[in-house]
Structure 1
Amino acid sequence: MKSPQANDSWFQGVAARDIHMEQLKKAERFNGRAAMVGIVIGIITEGLTGAGIVHQIGLGPLVDGYAACRTQFLPFCF
């Protein structure tokens, strides 16, 4: 027969794992909702200003350079 201490440590381990999984679920749910809000705000801003999401976060010149390279507007490609 198992000792009461071994049984208690097993229950504590199971409880700790359950608590961790619940915290992980809450964090993932929050991250997903924050991402959805960010995308909606980016789309609304794009509709109002005409600047795409990539330009809004400051990566516009990188995308513009790639587009110019792909359409042969630049004499060199990176």
Structure 2
Amino acid sequence: MQSNQANDQWFQSAAARDIHLDQLKRVERFNGRAAMLGIVIGIITEGLTGAGIAHQIGLGALVDGYAACRTQFLPFCF
């Protein structure tokens, strides 16, 4: 009886692990597709408006600050 319960427990944990891995694969596939779609939309918008992806999401000041730092227009670099 003890062996049968241990066997059942092993099968249940193996099945739960397989279900979890299947769900993880589906979620990661969805995230990858959403990221690819976001990049494509960002590139198309950049082509239409001339504003880069960083400027589109509100991080343009950081990019501009880095460019100014690289060209030594700022007295300090971060």
- Provide TM-score, normalisation by structure 1: 0.91
CA–CA distance in structure 1, aligned partners of residues 67 and 25 of structure 2: 40
CA–CA distance in structure 1, aligned partners of residues 22 and 66 of structure 2: 43
- The offset of 1:15, in angstroms, is 0.2
Matched with 1:77 is 76
Q: CA RMSD in A?
A: 1.4
Gaps of 5+ in 1: none
Q: Please give the residue correspondences for 1:1-78 in structure 2 after superposition, counting only pairs within 5 Å.
A: 3-74=3-74, 76-78=75-77
Quote the sequence identity (%).
Answer: 81
Deviations 1:40-77 (A, max 9, x none): 00000000000000111111011111111211223x12
- The offset of 1:3, in angstroms, is 2.0
Equivalences, count = 77
CA–CA distance in structure 2, aligned partners of residues 72 and 39 of structure 1: 31
Q: Runs ≥4 in structure 1, deviation > 2 angstroms?
A: none
Gaps of 5+ in 2: none
